[in-house]
């Protein structure tokens, strides 16, 4: 667990602590000749990074590499990194030390860093960490085979160019260590929002949407392979926009006169939902300024679009939201939250909160707590502010809240959320939910587990069904993190 963040549930998916450092192995396509080399990849950070590692694995497999989950036998060790908070970077630096003996033990072994920290530090990474041979940013993965070759000939290899077009649309990610039931599909890359605390616009570049035809084709292919749940991923999914009309290439698709010819996010989720009523559709992350009623009505219309919205508030104070450059205020957020409750009464809402942002007063903090009371979030990812070099906040405002105060406020936020999660779950006791069976529960193989539409983990005594089946589960008890129950009908 990072020092400054608390994600206390087994629920997805901003930073899923159970997945940090996860490795990935693939089968090289049969049509591709082996180049005799193996790669090893570890992933950190958000779901986008995990999805990117699957793209990386696919590119390397296509170039003849095999994979291994033993770094000692790898020719190339890759770390797909996160830069969102300082602790995420500290963790990567410690991890790199772990690999320091490998070059002695295995002649010619190469170490590469990918992802957001690579993009942020660029060539500096090579100066700071002598061990590193390859630095590749999130838009440079197609060039990885070339970079590995270059580094193999003794030169350090760097590609941190950001692109305005790259979406890796036609690269089909490999998903060998998934549960075979639920998969992530990246629908857009980058972010144009420039929240003042956030390093993402600098590490992942400009926002661009992936061709909806390749998204739908990928979702359909997953469904045909037995998957029953897809989560559409983007930093800001509500601003998804794509047009297949060649006349609109390079045009600003937000202009209302193009609406007829543009697939927006509401249309996209509908297209994916129509693949099959048995395929659940989820998405992450929504932005309060862009989440339209259109999206909410589409969610309400299709039973297979899950009734769950992750809507990061960050702060409950309009003054702080302005400094954060979130472009909405408290009243706007409350209006959006009320729209969710009006249009999809059964929806669960979760959020992200930052405590101790620059100049945050005790009153601002109280407004965050009161926002939590007002919404009653089912779950939250909570952080204290960590200044990131190069961001607008780092340039414009002093990081002036002492660490003890940031942490004390974070603790208050966490305590309140624990209370709310429990209350939220207690309300579900006695209700019956449709649960998509994922497999044995993490705690006991006598139990199965899966999620309900509100994204709550439900655990129940084993019955004779395969993962990927829908069952009706009546909830009999709960904790703050899980619902417990029993199957009432298959």
Q: Does 11 bind ligand SF4 (CB under 6 A)?
A: no
- Name which position in 191, 268, 269, 413 contacts ligand SF4 (CB under 6 A): 191
Q: Residue 407 Cβ, how far from ligand 5AD at the closest point, in Å?
A: 12
CB of 269 to ligand 5AD, least distance (A): 21
Beta carbon nearer to ligand SF4, 133 or 139 = 139
Q: Which residues, other chains included, contact 88 with Cβ-Cβ below 8 Å and sequence gap of 6+?
A: 2, 44, 45, 81, 82, 117
CB of 265 or CB of 383, closer to ligand 5AD: 383
Nearer to ligand SF4, 231 or 235 (CB): 235
> What is the torsion angle, in degrees rounded to the nearest 10, for the CA atoms of residue 229, residue 232, residue 233 and residue 238?
-140
Residue 460 contact, options ligand 5AD, ligand SF4, none, Cβ 5-8 Å cut-off depending on partner type? none
193 contacts ligand SF4 (rule: CB under 6 A):
yes
Taking the least distance from each CB to ligand 5AD, the nearer of 125 and 385 is 385
14/63 with CB nearer ligand 5AD: 14
Convert the chain into a string of H (helix), E (strand) and C (coil).
Answer: CCCCEECCCCCCCCECHHHCCEECCCCCCCCCCCCCCEEEEEECCEHHHHHHHHHHHHHHHHCCCEECCCHHHCCEEEEEECCCCHHHHHHHHHHHHHCCCHHHHCCCCEEEEEHHHHHHHCCHHHHHCCCCCEEECCCCHHHHHHHHHHHHCCCCEEECCCCCCCCCCCCCCCCCCCCCCEEEEECEECCCCCCCCCCHHHHHCCCEECCHHHHHHHHHHHHHCCCCEEEEECCCHHHCEECCCHHHCCCCCCCHHHHHHCEEHHHHHHHHHCCCCCCEEEEECCCCCCCCHHHHHHHHHCCCECCEEECCCECCCHHHHHHCCCCCCHHHHHHHHHHHHHHCCCCEEEEEEEECCCCCCHHHHHHHHHHHHHHCCCEEEEEECCCCCCCHHHHHCCCCCCHHHHHHHHHHHHHHHHHHHHHHHHCCCCCEEEEEEEEECCCCCCEEEEECCCCCEEEEECCCCCCCCEEEEEEEEECCCEEEEEEEEC
Do residues 116 and 138 touch, judged by C-beta distance below 8 A?
A: yes
- Residue 236 makes contact with ligand SF4 by CB under 6 A: yes
Per partner kind, with CB cut-offs from 5 to 8 A, the member of ligand SF4, ligand 5AD, none near residue 191 is ligand SF4
Subset of residues 327 to 386 that bind ligand SF4, contact rule: CB under 6 A: none
Other Cβ atoms closer than 10 A to 474: 16
Binding interface with ligand 5AD (CB under 6 A)? 14, 84-85, 197-198, 312, 314, 352, 354, 383, 385-386, 388
Pick out residues in 14-73 that bind ligand SF4 (CB under 6 A). Answer: none
Binding part of the chain for ligand SF4, among 188-196, 274-282, 355-363, 404-412 by CB under 6 A, reads: 188-196
Structure tokens at 56: 């990386």
User: Total number of residues binding ligand SF4 (CB under 6 A)?
Assistant: 10
Q: Which of the listed partners (ligand 5AD, ligand SF4, none) does 193 bind, with a CB threshold of 5 to 8 Å by partner kind? A: ligand SF4
Q: What contacts 97, CB < 8 A, 6 or more positions away?
A: none
Choices 100-108, 137-145, 187-195, 430-438; region in contact with ligand SF4 by CB under 6 A: 187-195
Query: Quick one: 282 or 287, whose CB is closer to ligand SF4?
Result: 287
Q: How far is the CB of 285 from ligand SF4 (least distance, A)?
A: 7
Residue choice 55, 183, 200, 437 for contact with ligand SF4 (CB under 6 A):
200
Task: Please give the Cα distance from 136 to 120 (Å, whole number).
Answer: 10
236 interacts with, out of ligand 5AD, ligand SF4, none, CB within 5 to 8 A per kind:
ligand SF4
Question: Minimum distance from CB of 166 to ligand 5AD (Å)?
Answer: 22
Q: Is 195 in the site for ligand SF4 (CB under 6 A)?
A: yes
Tell how far CA 225 is from the center of its chain. 23
393 binds ligand SF4 (CB under 6 A): no
Q: Report if residue 201 touches ligand SF4, rule: CB under 6 A.
A: yes
- Residue 287 partner contact from ligand SF4, ligand 5AD, none using kind-dependent CB cut-offs of 5 to 8 Å: ligand SF4
235 binds ligand SF4 (CB under 6 A): yes
Would you say 84 or 435 has its CB closer to ligand 5AD?
Answer: 84
Among 198, 281, 401, 473, binds ligand SF4 (CB under 6 A): 198
The answer for residues whose C-beta is within 8 angstroms of residue 382's C-beta and 6 or more apart is 5, 6, 7, 352, 353, 355, 410, 413, 414, 417
- For ligand SF4, the binding residues in 278-307 under the rule CB under 6 A are 287
Q: How far is the CB of 195 from ligand SF4 (least distance, A)?
A: 3
Whichever of 241 and 388 has its CB closer to ligand 5AD, that residue is 388
Region from 32-40, 193-201, 221-229, 264-272 binding ligand SF4, contact rule CB under 6 A: 193-201
**Binding partner of residue 336 among ligand 5AD, ligand SF4, none, CB cut-off 5 to 8 Å per kind:** none
To which H or E segment does residue 48 belong? helix 47-62
Q: Which is nearer to ligand SF4, 275 or 354 (CB)?
A: 354
Q: Is 310 in the site for ligand SF4 (CB under 6 A)?
A: no
Positions in the binding site for ligand SF4 (CB under 6 A): 191, 193-195, 198, 200-201, 235-236, 287
């Amino acid at each position: 667990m990072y020092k400054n963040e608390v994600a206390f549930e087994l629920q997805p998916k901003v930073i899923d602590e159970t997945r940090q450092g996860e490795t990935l192995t693939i089968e090289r396509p049969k049509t591709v000749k082996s180049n005799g080399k193996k790669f090893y990849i570890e992933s950190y950070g958000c779901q986008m990074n995990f999805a990117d590692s699957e793209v990386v694995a696919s590119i390397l497999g296509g170039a003849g590499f095999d994979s291994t989950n033993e770094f000692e036998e790898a020719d190339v060790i890759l770390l797909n990194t996160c830069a969102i908070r300082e602790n995420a970077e500290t963790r990567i630096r410690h991890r790199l030390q772990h690999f320091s003996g490998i070059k002695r033990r295995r002649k010619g072994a190469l170490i590469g860093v990918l992802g957001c920290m690579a993009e942020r530090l660029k060539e500096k990474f090579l100066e700071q960490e002598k061990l590193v041979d390859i630095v590749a940013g999130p838009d440079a993965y197609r060039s990885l085979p070339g970079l590995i070759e270059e580094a193999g000939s003794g030169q350090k290899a760097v590609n941190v160019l950001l692109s305005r077009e790259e979406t890796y649309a036609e690269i089909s990610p490999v998903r060998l260590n998934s549960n075979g039931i639920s998969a992530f599909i990246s629908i857009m890359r980058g972010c144009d929002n420039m929240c003042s605390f956030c390093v993402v616009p600098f590490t992942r570049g400009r926002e661009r949407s992936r061709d909806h035809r390749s998204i739908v084709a990928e979702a359909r292919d997953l469904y045909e392979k037995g998957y029953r749940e897809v989560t559409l991923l983007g930093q800001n999914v509500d601003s998804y926009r794509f047009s297949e009309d060649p006349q609109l290439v390079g045009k600003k698709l937000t202009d209302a006169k193009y609406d007829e010819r543009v697939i927006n996010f509401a249309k996209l989720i509908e297209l994916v939902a129509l693949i099959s009523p048995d395929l659940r559709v989820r998405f992450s992350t929504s932005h309060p300024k862009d989440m339209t009623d259109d999206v909410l009505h589409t969610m309400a219309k299709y039973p297979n679009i899950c009734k769950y919205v992750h809507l990061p508030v960050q702060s409950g104070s309009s003054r702080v939201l302005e400094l954060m450059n979130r472009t909405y205020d408290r009243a706007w957020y409350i209006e959006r939250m009320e729209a969710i409750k009006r249009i999809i009464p059964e929806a669960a809402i979760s959020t992200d909160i930052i405590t101790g942002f620059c100049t945050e007063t005790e009153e601002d903090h109280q407004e965050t707590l009161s926002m939590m009371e007002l919404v009653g979030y089912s779950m939250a990812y909570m952080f204290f502010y960590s200044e990131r070099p190069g961001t607008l906040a780092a340039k414009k405002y002093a990081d002036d809240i002492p660490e003890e105060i940031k942490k004390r406020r974070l603790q208050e936020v966490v305590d309140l959320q624990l209370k709310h999660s429990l209350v939220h779950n207690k309300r579900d006791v006695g209700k019956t939910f449709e649960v998509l069976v994922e497999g044995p529960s993490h705690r006991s193989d006598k139990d199965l587990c899966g999620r309900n539409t509100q994204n709550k983990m439900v655990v129940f005594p084993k019955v004779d069904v395969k993962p990927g089946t829908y069952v009706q589960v009546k909830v009999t008890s709960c904790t703050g993190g899980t619902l417990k129950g029993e199957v009432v009908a298959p």
